[in-house]
Structure 1
Amino acid sequence: MNQLNTATFAGGCFWCMASAFDDKPGIEQVVSGYMGGDVDNPGYEDVCTGNTGHAEVVQVHFDPNIITYQDLLKIYFSQINPTDEGGSFLDRGNQYRSAVFYHTEEQKQLALEAIQQIDDSKMFDKPVVTQVQEAVEFFPAEEYHQDYHKKNPIQYKSYSLGSGRQSFVNRVWDEKSLKIF
């Protein structure tokens, strides 16, 4: 078995982020959770207050021989508005910020390069505010959050559409815009 690498991304609701990475070749597991705060073992109710410093994240375990970190960055950025300082779509607050939590110096450099490419493309009127932070302790979310999009497809689809995420993604991230990477 090949050695798996880990990538961690914050982009608002982890239900939506998890579904974006799910079932892609080379991605072995996607786990919803929390990272970046200062409270040990936070739960959903704690993080939702915005007082723990954590962001909702997805941790992606992938085979780099099948899918590259650059490919993961493309998937990630194509699911968010990287210029939104106040959260992500309907979800507001620091716990819904966009951030790339890097596990290696190479991941850090690739994330910074991707952000520069988006800024250089001028596809947005504002600069990218997605944070690039060193990965710290990851806390898996409660079981009912794992694979939420599969367990509760009707509620998930309603949430995804109602949040404005899907219409933004469809409007902004087309094949032409994805070529900036």
Structure 2
Amino acid sequence: MEETKYEKATFAGGCFWCMVQPFDQQPGIIKVRSGYMGGHIPNPTYEDVKSGESDHLEVVQITYDPSQFSYEKLLSLYWPQIDPTDPDGQFHDRGSQYRTAIFYHNDEQKKAAEHSKRQVEESGRFNKPIVTEIRKAEPFYIAEEYHQDFYKKSPTEYKEERLQSGRDEFISSNWK
């Protein structure tokens, strides 16, 4: 019997609360965890990251079955969740911890991420440069439990946060 081999993908797209749901309910997605990556202190807390002083980004780390959901398909789902032209955060969330980035876990992911970024750049969809970074994955620090699956645990607060953020308005006017 062949053993299923899962892989990981890690994306920064601003507030991690808003980045879980688009991936969470897809076939072949095993789990989506909110967390932190890319900073200089080990085991950061939300307060460390929120301050912007730890240099971590809020990320979602996706465990997926590549035989059911390819990395390229994850990338095609990632881009329409973000404003890839904003160097200072996402929507109403401002600061370095809310920047966008694709953290690759292997050379194949790096190549696919670079290719997908070129496609977005060449699409003519945006009149500003694409600033989403493509970076080597670093240690992933899982966020506190109250951040996990926030859209399920606190659906009213999640919907209000999304509405106030301007994310959905941006997505519908730039990606649809």
Structure 2 length-normalised TM: 0.97
> How much is the aligned-residue C-alpha RMSD, in angstroms?
0.7
AA in 2 matched with 1:129: V
Q: Aligned equivalents of 2:24 and 2:168: distance in 1?
A: 16
Aligned to 2:140: 138
AA in 1 matched with 2:143: A
Aligned to 1:105: 107
Q: Aligned equivalents of 2:74 and 2:123: distance in 1?
A: 19
Identity %: 51
Aligned pairs for 1:82-161 (under 5 A) are 82-161=84-163
Q: Aligned equivalents of 2:30 and 2:171: distance in 1?
A: 24
Aligned to 2:76: 74
Q: Aligned equivalents of 2:21 and 2:49: distance in 1?
A: 21
Structure 1 residues without counterparts, runs of 5 or longer:
175-181
Aligned pairs for 1:40-51 (under 5 A) are 40-51=42-53
Task: Please tell me whether residue 4 in structure 1 is matched to residue 6 in structure 2.
Answer: yes
Please state whether the residue corresponding to 1:119 is helix, strand or coil: helix
Q: Aligned equivalents of 2:30 and 2:19: distance in 1?
A: 15
Of 7, 14, 23, which residue of structure 2 is paired with 1:21? Answer: 23
Residues 65-122 of structure 1: per-residue CA shift (max 9 Å, x gap): 0000011001110100001011011111110000000000111111111110111111
Please state whether the residue corresponding to 2:146 is helix, strand or coil: helix
Please state whether the residue corresponding to 1:78 is helix, strand or coil: helix
The structural deviation recorded for 1:170 is 1.4
Q: Aligned equivalents of 1:74 and 1:118: distance in 2?
A: 10
Q: Aligned equivalents of 1:7 and 1:170: distance in 2?
A: 25
Of 166, 170, 173, which residue of structure 2 is paired with 1:171? Answer: 173
Q: Aligned equivalents of 1:94 and 1:41: distance in 2?
A: 18
The structural deviation recorded for 1:144 is 0.2
The number of aligned residues is 174
Structure 2 residues without counterparts, runs of 5 or longer:
none
Q: Aligned equivalents of 1:109 and 1:96: distance in 2?
A: 24
